[in-house]
Amino acid sequence: MTAVLVFLGAALGAPARYLIDRAVQTRHDSLFPWGTFTVNLVGCLILGGLAGAGTALPDPVLAAAGTGFCGALTTYSTFSYESLRLAERTAYLFAALNIGVSIAAGVGMTFLAYTVVGAFV
């Protein structure tokens, strides 16, 4: 049953990732991968909130929303690929910013959501 819930969450997360990525990226005339940056931060925020809820959420919800939805929404591989492509295009500043800001902001968003939700649960 858990695998089905992960599948269902992923079935929502993957199209959400694509649609959000395209909607954000088409609004920015920049080499910086704003779409991937956005979906990764949203995923960090959601997963941080889920983790902050701790045992208040049943395991099936964590499987569907955390592993399935957030797992399909976020993308480490695309983040890595886009960082390398920026460096290949000699956009070194964008590459460094993508790496540094993505990691710092991702951890920050996760911590923020974890802390806020944990305070209310």
Query: pLDDT in tens for each of the 121 residues of the chain?
Result: 999 999 999 999 999 999 999 999 999 999 999 999 999 999 999 999 999 999 999 999 999 999 999 999 999 999 999 999 999 999 999 999 999 999 999 999 999 999 999 999 9
Return the closest-CA partner of residue 38 out of 91, 113, 121, 101: 101
- pLDDT (0 to 100) of residue 105: 98
- pLDDT (0 to 100) of residue 16: 98
Exposure string of 27-52, with b = 16+ CB inside 10 Å and e = fewer, is eeeeebbbbbbbbbbbbbbbbbbbbb
- pLDDT (0 to 100) of residue 82: 98
- pLDDT (0 to 100) of residue 66: 98
109 token code pair: 């968003």
Give the count of domains, the chain.
1
* CA 12 and chain centroid, separation: 14
Neighbours of 67 (CB within 10 A): 19
Q: Is this model's pTM higher than 0.85 or not?
A: yes
Angle (CA) 84-65-26 rounded to 5° is 40
- pLDDT (0 to 100) of residue 8: 98
- pLDDT (0 to 100) of residue 10: 98
* CA 17 and chain centroid, separation: 9
Residue numbers of the domain that contains 9: 2-120
